[in-house]
Structure 1
Amino acid sequence: MSRDGSEVYSWGQGVLGQLGHGDEKTQRQPRLVVAFLGFNVRQVSCGNQHTAILMENGEVFTFGRGNFGQLGQGASVTANVSTPALVSALQGKHVKQIACGWHHTCALIDNGQLYTWGSGEYGRLGHGDEVRQASPKLVEALQGKEVTFVAAGGFHSSVIIEGGNLLTWGGGYFGQLGHGDETDRKAPKMVKGVQQCIAHEVACGTHHTLMLTQSQEVWTWGSGEFGKLGIGDEEKHAEPIMITALQGVGVIHISTGGFHSAALTSEGVLYTWGGGDKGQLGHGDENSQNIPVVVEALRGKRVTRVSAGMHHTMALLDNADVYSWGSGEYGRLGHDDEQMQTTPFLIEQLIGKGVREISSGGFHSLALASGSGETAQGTGIGAPYRPTGKNQRIGFATSKDEDEDDDTRLKTANTGMTEDSGIADTESRAASRMSARPGAKGAMPMGKGVSGDDDDDQEDYKLKQALRESQVEVAELRKQIEILTDRSKLEQTRIETRLQASQEERNHLRKQLERLQEKQQADAALKAKLSTAQEEIAELRKKYERSRGDLKQRTVDVHMLQVRVAQLCGSELDGLTVSQLEELERMQAEALRRCGVAKYVRLRQEFQEKEEHMREDVEKMRREFEERMDKMKVEVQKIQEEKVHLMGLEQRLRQEFQTQVQAEQMSNEELRIRLETLQDGFVQLRSILRKEKQSRVESERHPMDDM
């Protein structure tokens, strides 16, 4: 199917350039990304604060936040990009699917190979390490496996390979990898808990995962916070578990957000569950749900696609209408405001655009449309937008235009005052006189008979000029206020981003502390084992001492028996026969046997062997214990240093934020005072002008009174 005339619309937070309009302005309603006019777009994908666009010819363009290398523009470009930029490293590879995570991006090639780039923390890129990649890099661990689908989450990634098996990797602290533990994986690993299923689609949230099977079953695992797993509790599950509430409803599509989830059936019925504190579930309230619940407001409408963002949700209907709900901060819902919506609300500006795909990001949204016949100047990627028709006008906004956007309000003030000033008639006459005032360029010659009005004309001109200059100054002040406000929002967003990064570091630190506690528990178990071994050695020593005492006693008994035998034999010992001597030796051996000498010797030998073996074990355990204690001390010291560093960093960030806010408040107050002063000056100038006018009128009426 031909897709000529594809149109990409973006709205929401734009402070990092993630909207692709060539600036960093926030848009509260859908705005056409003119850079893609004339191109065939196949897919759009929103990350937390960056965006990727896939073209029909397999090329990929990215824009937005780039400090983690998630734009794939190479090591030389890690800053924010506000205009779509081609990922040149993927040229010639023909990408067929893209997926954006929080700080990383994935691209699936038509030959089944997978490329990833961006933040490598927790191993989310799948390259066997945690190294940041600023350019696309092949996931070599998937060589020999044909990837058919890819999904990227907050800190982990997942793919479906030929045959329907599912593999995951990245951060596993919340069990979101589904391997039965909370271990990070730096390379793809098959999820054995769903190996019996044929995976059809997978969706990765911030800390949880959903999988849709070919038989329309939905499996889930990871963090159960706010009930986002949909299994009736808020517990963490590190192994896949089926969502029984969705059995038999015919699910064909799934989506995961920051703290909620969504599923769509073949009948166009939409289910949502999880966190609802921002209204993102669309149930008309701010309650969370731990099992899937139908979005009643859309019942009777046929939903074809759903996209869950951080705190908002969008749904695409079969008639190409788009509904959105949840947090309206930064205008991400596209309703030209920042109000929270707890039920689905139609995005009016997308009506009739032919939207065929939607994507919800962290703080912004995108829609891909087939085109509505609207035109705008632009020849492709990076082409500047030039307004046509009425949009080309430049003028100072009057009261009629006060509700227009910031760009209209900040037009250069180069027009005269309006009728609202109350002096329109004076302005008209003054303007006509200005062209004929003395000294003016191209001025008409004046007769001597009209020189009496020259002074009045001069004064009118000066007053009018002062009014215009004041008007320009007010416009400039308003523009400065707008700029300072935008800068304040930008700085606040940057600080929030840094605080968010600090929170991620804290989570990582907490994870290290928990691992350290696990090591301490293991060391405690080793210590207990060492103590038990020492007790066993002490018990063996006691047995050894008792055996030695028994041996001494039995040795005495043997000696006494020998003496008795000697007494019995006496001097006749030498005259004994051979048989008598053998009998005597037999009696002596029997006496030794009865005394237990052989048993003692055997027991002593066994004790010595066991004691030597246990000594070796104890020495080995002691060395291991000392080594682990040394490592633990080093780790504790390192963690304490990181904790102090993080606390200091957070304190500095808060101080910087407070200082910035105070400075902006002072600056805004100064501008407000100047604005009030100028407004007072306006009033005085209008009063003077009216008095002068009244004086001239009275002079004309009573010319003789002045004589």
Structure 2
Amino acid sequence: MRINRRNKANRSSGRHGTARSLQQTVSLLTAALTVAVSACTPPAPPDTEPPVLSLPGTLTTEATSASGATVTFVATAVDAVAGVVPVSCSPDSGSLFPVGVTTVACSASDPAGNTASGTFDVEVTEPVDALAGATRLTAGYHHTCAIVESGEVVCWGADRRDDNDPSLVPEFVPEITGATDIDASSSNTTCVILADGHLECWGRNDFGQLGNGTISGLFDSNPPSPVTAISAATDISVGLYHVCAVLDDGGVQCWGRNSNGQLGDGTTDNSAVPVAVPGVVNAVAVAAEESSTCALLADGTVTCWGLILNSSGWYDQVTAPALNTDITGATDIHAGSGGTMCVLTDIGAVKCWGKNSPGTLGDGTTVDSVTPVMPTGVSNATTITSGNAHSCAVISGGTVKCWGSNQWGELGNGTTTTWTTPNLPAHVSGITTATAVATGAAHSCALLSNSTIRCWGYNGAGGLGNGTTNDSTTPVTVLNAPA
């Protein structure tokens, strides 16, 4: 029997054609239905809301010359649809503002053409009789000190030297001459290195922080006295309750509180006289905070002891030095009294680790970190410092950036925030020629290239040195010491 293969193929082809036609019909119906549904969907309402403009309040600063002062500020705008939009201000941030009150007008527009506008005032006051000739700077808990060209020391605020009455302007420390370095590191104790390598300390001494073999009451004031048996110091760091010094042979000695092994002698016994830190023989700098200490070694590495954060987020009590393997190429080191450590590297990078509340590591979070974190937007730094809950760096060219807590205006950008807000690094308003920066518990100060000093933040004890107890969110000039 013969089979008609052509007819069979034709029948098969017909079935396939019918299936294709059906698929095409379904596709056309689906497309038509989509168009119909889209036609029924109402269009998005037009954007009629302007951006939300955020401007600083009135900014006040002193003139730095007869022409006025350069003032920087932060103005931002956020749109509900477009997100962050640019802000235009006149005069712009970074402009030279004359003596007097200048109104700054700002505006921001979104892509739909909606515009928000606002104003704020910048007041530049007359130049003042400023402290001159400063060469070194440090900020204590609520006080500030500087070394001047003569080797004398001036302090202002509550330095616990001879009484508990703070000085609102700089006063000479009559017992000190020939000072070459000074440190208070947001504490109530201050120490200086003298030209011959000896040390003198004053202030709080309830754990033997003065290093002279004595212990005083918590609220006692103590004048400068020599530290026992140290005659060749090259660096000094004052922690909250203990002090450490680097000697000219690269060794380190510490004294004061030792409840967590922060003296590094293998014990937890307090000592009112210096004790050697075994195993550290090539230190070039040291940094002491509340419960730990780190030494910067000549090869750019760092070794630490005391209460050390571990990878589990807990703290280990390390009574003898242990190398921090995450740090190389370091050239300077500083500790904040709140538990933060920061180093400056040979490429101008800043790296911080430890406590991060509220944001002292500069990464925009409050998460503690055992590994070093680089503060956001900070590069080409030349010097660094850490306070109780904030940190600052001088940037190449002379500007200053600060980050962390800003409850009292200690970031210097014309604003304040709640204590728990982790603030990212921001430029300090009006500072363009800084050579050094120091941070206290809630205030900051910058040493300028003309050897004057400007401070900002908390001023309840006179730590800003401008003759008042008014806090300031922008830098004020430290007044001259009375003759």
**Secondary structure of 1:330's aligned partner:** coil
* 1:156/1:204 contact within 8 Å kept: no
Per-residue CA deviation, residues 115-138 of structure 1 (Å, 9 max, x unaligned), is 100000111111112110010111
Per-residue CA deviation, residues 95-123 of structure 1 (Å, 9 max, x unaligned), is 11111010101111111111100000111
Aligned positions of 1:591-606 closer than 5 A: none
Residues in 2 aligned to 1:277 and 1:63: alpha-carbon distance in whole angstroms: 29
Q: 1:188 maps to which residue?
A: 321
* 1:182/1:238 contact within 8 Å kept: no
Q: State which of 226, 229, 233 in structure 1 corresponds to 2:361.
A: 229
Aligned positions of 1:691-702 closer than 5 A: none
Q: 1:5 maps to which residue?
A: 150
Residues in 2 aligned to 1:213 and 1:266: alpha-carbon distance in whole angstroms: 13
Q: 2:463 maps to which residue?
A: 332
Structure 2: 5+ residue stretches without partners: 1-134, 136-147
Residues in 2 aligned to 1:77 and 1:273: alpha-carbon distance in whole angstroms: 36
Residues in 2 aligned to 1:140 and 1:89: alpha-carbon distance in whole angstroms: 17
Per-residue CA deviation, residues 380-418 of structure 1 (Å, 9 max, x unaligned), is xxxxxxxxxxxxxxxxxxxxxxxxxxxxxxxxxxxxxxx
Q: State which of 444, 462, 465 in structure 2 corresponds to 1:313.
A: 444
Residues in 2 aligned to 1:276 and 1:344: alpha-carbon distance in whole angstroms: 14
* 1:180/1:239 contact within 8 Å kept: no
Q: 1:450 maps to which residue?
A: none
Q: 2:254 maps to which residue?
A: 116
**Secondary structure of 1:245's aligned partner:** coil
Task: Give the AA of the match of 1:98.
Answer: I
Q: 1:541 maps to which residue?
A: none
Q: 1:245 maps to which residue?
A: 377
What is the deviation of 1:252?
Answer: 1.1
Q: State which of 273, 282, 299 in structure 1 corresponds to 2:412.
A: 282
Q: State which of 104, 122, 135 in structure 1 corresponds to 2:273.
A: 135
> Cα–Cα, structure 1 residues 31 and 111, in superposed 2: closer, same or farther, change >3 Å?
same
Aligned positions of 1:632-647 closer than 5 A: none
Q: State which of 152, 155, 163 in structure 1 corresponds to 2:288.
A: 152
Q: State which of 168, 171, 177 in structure 1 corresponds to 2:304.
A: 168
Q: 2:233 maps to which residue?
A: 95
Aligned positions of 1:583-598 closer than 5 A: none
**Secondary structure of 1:170's aligned partner:** strand
* 2:362/2:374 contact within 8 Å kept: no
Matched, 1:83 2:219: no
Residues in 1 aligned to 2:466 and 2:459: alpha-carbon distance in whole angstroms: 8
* 1:24/1:82 contact within 8 Å kept: no
* 1:178/1:222 contact within 8 Å kept: no
Task: Give the AA of the match of 1:147.
Answer: A
Task: Give the AA of the match of 2:471.
Answer: M
What is the deviation of 1:11?
Answer: 1.4
What is the deviation of 1:153?
Answer: 1.2
Residues in 1 aligned to 2:224 and 2:313: alpha-carbon distance in whole angstroms: 41
Q: State which of 325, 330, 352 in structure 2 corresponds to 1:199.
A: 330
Q: State which of 166, 185, 200 in structure 2 corresponds to 1:26.
A: 166
* 1:105/1:152 contact within 8 Å kept: yes
User: Which one scores higher on RCO, CA 8 angstroms, separation ≥ 6?
Assistant: 2
What is the deviation of 1:54?
Answer: 1.0
Residues in 1 aligned to 2:307 and 2:468: alpha-carbon distance in whole angstroms: 36
Residues in 1 aligned to 2:204 and 2:366: alpha-carbon distance in whole angstroms: 33
Aligned positions of 1:327-406 closer than 5 A: 327-349=458-480
Matched, 1:51 2:190: yes
**Secondary structure of 2:480's aligned partner:** helix
Q: 1:269 maps to which residue?
A: 399
Q: 2:206 maps to which residue?
A: 67
Task: Give the AA of the match of 1:239.
Answer: T
* 1:78/1:134 contact within 8 Å kept: no
What is the deviation of 1:181?
Answer: 5.3
What is the deviation of 1:207?
Answer: 1.6
> Cα–Cα, structure 1 residues 6 and 13, in superposed 2: closer, same or farther, change >3 Å?
same
> Cα–Cα, structure 1 residues 183 and 88, in superposed 2: closer, same or farther, change >3 Å?
closer
What is the deviation of 1:32?
Answer: 1.1
What is the deviation of 1:191?
Answer: 0.8
Aligned positions of 1:486-497 closer than 5 A: none
What is the deviation of 1:45?
Answer: 1.2
Residues in 2 aligned to 1:290 and 1:341: alpha-carbon distance in whole angstroms: 18
Normalised to the residue count of structure 2, the TM-score between the two structures is 0.65
**Secondary structure of 1:342's aligned partner:** strand
Residues in 1 aligned to 2:196 and 2:149: alpha-carbon distance in whole angstroms: 12
> Cα–Cα, structure 1 residues 252 and 5, in superposed 2: closer, same or farther, change >3 Å?
closer
Matched positions, count: 330
Q: CA RMSD in A?
A: 2.2
Residues in 2 aligned to 1:345 and 1:193: alpha-carbon distance in whole angstroms: 38
> Cα–Cα, structure 1 residues 88 and 234, in superposed 2: closer, same or farther, change >3 Å?
closer
Per-residue CA deviation, residues 534-580 of structure 1 (Å, 9 max, x unaligned), is xxxxxxxxxxxxxxxxxxxxxxxxxxxxxxxxxxxxxxxxxxxxxxx
* 1:117/1:132 contact within 8 Å kept: yes
Residues in 1 aligned to 2:430 and 2:163: alpha-carbon distance in whole angstroms: 36
Per-residue CA deviation, residues 323-355 of structure 1 (Å, 9 max, x unaligned), is 1111111111112221111111111226xxxxx
* 1:234/1:290 contact within 8 Å kept: no
Residues in 2 aligned to 1:104 and 1:86: alpha-carbon distance in whole angstroms: 16
Residues in 1 aligned to 2:234 and 2:440: alpha-carbon distance in whole angstroms: 23
Residues in 2 aligned to 1:184 and 1:221: alpha-carbon distance in whole angstroms: 17
Residues in 2 aligned to 1:147 and 1:332: alpha-carbon distance in whole angstroms: 32
Per-residue CA deviation, residues 607-637 of structure 1 (Å, 9 max, x unaligned), is xxxxxxxxxxxxxxxxxxxxxxxxxxxxxxx
> Cα–Cα, structure 1 residues 86 and 265, in superposed 2: closer, same or farther, change >3 Å?
same
* 1:178/1:191 contact within 8 Å kept: no
Q: State which of 193, 196, 215 in structure 1 corresponds to 2:347.
A: 215
Per-residue CA deviation, residues 38-67 of structure 1 (Å, 9 max, x unaligned), is x31111111511111110111111111111
Q: 1:104 maps to which residue?
A: 242
Residues in 1 aligned to 2:250 and 2:221: alpha-carbon distance in whole angstroms: 29
Residues in 2 aligned to 1:278 and 1:231: alpha-carbon distance in whole angstroms: 20
> Cα–Cα, structure 1 residues 178 and 253, in superposed 2: closer, same or farther, change >3 Å?
farther
How high is the sequence identity, in percent, across the aligned residues?
28
* 2:255/2:273 contact within 8 Å kept: yes
Residues in 1 aligned to 2:411 and 2:315: alpha-carbon distance in whole angstroms: 28
**Secondary structure of 1:112's aligned partner:** coil
Per-residue CA deviation, residues 12-50 of structure 1 (Å, 9 max, x unaligned), is 124xxx33xx444321111111222xx311111115111
Task: Give the AA of the match of 2:267.
Answer: D
Question: Which sits farther off after the overlay, 285-294 or 202-211?
Answer: 285-294
Residues in 2 aligned to 1:241 and 1:66: alpha-carbon distance in whole angstroms: 34
Residues in 2 aligned to 1:141 and 1:52: alpha-carbon distance in whole angstroms: 25
* 1:232/1:291 contact within 8 Å kept: yes
Q: 1:293 maps to which residue?
A: 426
**Secondary structure of 2:326's aligned partner:** helix
> Cα–Cα, structure 1 residues 236 and 23, in superposed 2: closer, same or farther, change >3 Å?
closer
> Cα–Cα, structure 1 residues 4 and 235, in superposed 2: closer, same or farther, change >3 Å?
closer
Larger Rg: 1
**Secondary structure of 2:223's aligned partner:** strand
Normalised to the residue count of structure 1, the TM-score between the two structures is 0.45
* 2:357/2:422 contact within 8 Å kept: no
